[in-house]
Chains A and B, each alone.
Chain A
């Protein structure tokens, strides 16, 4: 038997595999394919203070080894989440966290405060890194001062686990991580998507309605891995790694780079069972390498 349990501060995950916001709906979309209780946690779709229609179609373009998206945080708002969605998902036998986004600080605060009242939601992931909304979103996550401001404000009203999702579209991600740690973040997750773009040469038109969008998939993995490694050395709070993880080998690499847990994102679209396969694959790796506790692998990159 191997121990897969990890802790993000006080939040216990039965294994380090979570699913990334925006790629896993509210979990329900995957219930036909997997048993959600096999996962360490799920992070449901980005939720904002008010209903958002998101961006116009087209919102997606395939790229070599990945995809661009420009969904733009389409969601029905936090009140709808609390009333309609929460009752349906609250009894999942896994950690259900809500990704919270906003355009202004008051929106983040009000949304977080409402989710704070939901007994079965043990934490939120504060999204200060969405590249697809005109106001706010990524803007909060690209300077230390604005990242500190939003985390400080949310920390005052949100009493459970506060994970902050960082943007890779910065010069020095470690300094942003330290800034949010200083304001009381319980963990950081990284990376959100990289700002990218695609053009149809035949029509000379952009492939996304918003021209630019967020790049994800295995094409971003080396960048994500590097950033997780840098951040893990810079902060004391747990780091949750994501970005292009397609299989257990990728997941192990992030853990070795310093991630306490990992999130599966774009891979869910291609194989809706990939998250549980990765849990199994991590177990097999540990048995093969005679590692009895997953915690012994965190940050265990051999630099000698």
Chain B
């Protein structure tokens, strides 16, 4: 897939809570094909202390309006500055980057996201739904305050929540949700904190099902030039930006 560098315009900013926000960014021309799990690398021009671009998962794509949606959590200088962008601001974007989740057909699929790791799962659930899969998404958050943006998943399947304090859905981590024991799945997909993804990997291995995880190693370029974002796989160091971010756990040394 050809990679592009383009200026996008911020057309919508939605504050989900004090930590999370969604940016709708619009291109001047029709978007190329974008696959679920791919990411963009955006330049943060409104903060001089941010030197490198920031890689962000693609949350959703609206081809009719040439809009890409980014689900962002304020963590460091880069994401905090992105949260200060104003409608009409320009954003330099390198995209579409990375590989994608694989899309089975007519299967029972389980998606597990934790924290801002939910970002790529919405677009993935859309693809899975369109391919005739049954989609169950579990989002794991700290409390009901962080259980944001759930409605968007509803058209594509069942959405379940776990909270660490029990304020919404089942109490505990997403990998402790009762649906994991009460039902069976054919494929699992996950994105979020590494300990959570490792728990999803362990669950999937115990059930003998395929599991794909999306890694978020720090990177400088995003397109395979710097070799900074490697992960140690069974076939040696692989760039997360080009050979990932999505890996099947059978290829990782987890």
Contact = CB atoms under 8 A, between A and B. Distances in A.
Interface of A: 22-25, 29-30, 32-33, 45, 53-54, 56-67, 69, 71, 74, 217, 266, 268-273
Interface in B150-173: none
Interface residues on B, range: 20 to 34
Given A74-B230, A270-B43, A60 B218 contact: yes
Contact of A33 (B3, B50, B228, B232): B3
Contacts of A69: 220, 226, 228
Nearest to A23: B225
B28 interface: no
Interface in B209-252: 217-232, 236-237
A269 B52 contact: yes
Contacts of B43: 270-271
Interface in B27-72: 43, 49-53
B227 A71 contact: yes
A30 B236 CA distance: 24
B154 to A, nearest CB: 37
Most buried by A among B217, B224, B227, B230: B227
A86 B50 CA distance: 36
Contacts of A63: 51
A89 B2 CA distance: 18
Contact of A53 (B223, B229, B237): B237
A33 B223 CA distance: 11
B87 interface: no
A54 B227 contact: yes
Contacts of A30: 225
Contacts, number: 88
A198 to B, nearest CB: 12
A44 B197 CA distance: 36
A24 B224 CA distance: 9
B4 interface: yes
Contacts of B94: 272
A57 B226 contact: no
Contact of A29 (B5, B218, B225, B236): B225
A217 B51 contact: yes
B49 A59 contact: no
Interface of B: 2-5, 43, 49-53, 92, 94, 217-232, 236-237
A269 B220 contact: yes
B217 A269 contact: no
A71 B226 contact: yes
A29 B223 contact: yes
Contact of A74 (B217, B227, B231): B227
A32 B222 CA distance: 13
B226 A60 contact: yes
B219 A60 contact: yes
A134 B3 CA distance: 36
23 contacts: A24-B225, A25-B224, A29-B221, A29-B225, A32-B2, A53-B237, A54-B227, A54-B230, A57-B232, A57-B237, A58-B218, A59-B230, A67-B52, A69-B220, A69-B226, A71-B227, A71-B228, A74-B227, A74-B230, A74-B237, A270-B43, A270-B51, A272-B94
A32 to B, nearest CB: 4
Given A32-B3, A56-B232, A59-B230, A25 B237 contact: no
B3 A60 contact: no
Given A53-B236, A67-B51, A269-B52, A60 B224 contact: no
Nearest to A61: B218
A160 B69 CA distance: 51
Contacts of A56: 232
Contact of A270 (B49, B52, B231, B237): B52
B150 to A, nearest CB: 32
B223 A272 contact: yes
A65 B51 contact: yes
Contacts of B223: 29, 272
